[in-house]
Amino acid sequence: MIECPVCSHKEFTGALFCQECGAKLIGISGLTTQTIRVKVTPPVPELQAEQAINNTPAPPVDVAIYLHILDTGDVVPLEGTGEFTMGRSTEGYPFLPDIDLAPYSALENGVSRLHTSINLGIPQALVTDIGSANGTWLNGLKLSPNSPSPIKHGDILTLGKLKIQLLIRR
């Protein structure tokens, strides 16, 4: 038997998808909701958004992409490859984003439950607004929903009012 990583439903060996919640049971690493350890790295003190653009930290070397939350200075690593949805979790609501921004004042900043997705594709990483209520901006330009845009190291993503800088290692 195998266990669904999302809902813990037991499935027969050889099952490709969970019959209970529809989650993919093949190659699940990197596609499941990840627990993000808050304050993984020491906060960068007193770093303002404007400064951050000029003082972009060097691209990290151990993982493909980091999210640098400009308001709090937290740096969140994305592990694995593939597509990550970003948004905020709500109690009692079944939608879970891969990257939960709730600990970073997502609600106050107008982040939707499912807001934006980042695809660490090769050769080009892409960002897509997945129908958020308050929109996504890439370096100040508003993205039209559901159409992917290429992203590069140092880009600033704004989800509602939450500013995130992308640190990408290539």
Distance (Å, rounded) from C-alpha 39 to C-alpha 41?
5
Does 94 help bind another protein (rule: CB under 8 A)?
yes
Candidates 65, 68, 78, 85: give the one binding another protein (CB under 8 A). 85
Does 130 help bind another protein (rule: CB under 8 A)?
yes
Nearest to 136 by CA among 102, 161, 118, 153: 161
Does 121 help bind another protein (rule: CB under 8 A)?
no
Does 43 help bind another protein (rule: CB under 8 A)?
no
Does 61 help bind another protein (rule: CB under 8 A)?
no
Nearest to 38 by CA among 67, 65, 63, 8: 67
Distance (Å, rounded) from C-alpha 112 to C-alpha 97?
10
Does 126 help bind another protein (rule: CB under 8 A)?
no
Nearest to 8 by CA among 29, 30, 25: 25
Query: Shortest distance, CB of residue 96 to another protein, whole angstroms?
Result: 8
Q: Which is nearer to another protein, 132 or 165 (CB)?
A: 132
Q: Which is nearer to another protein, 85 or 165 (CB)?
A: 85
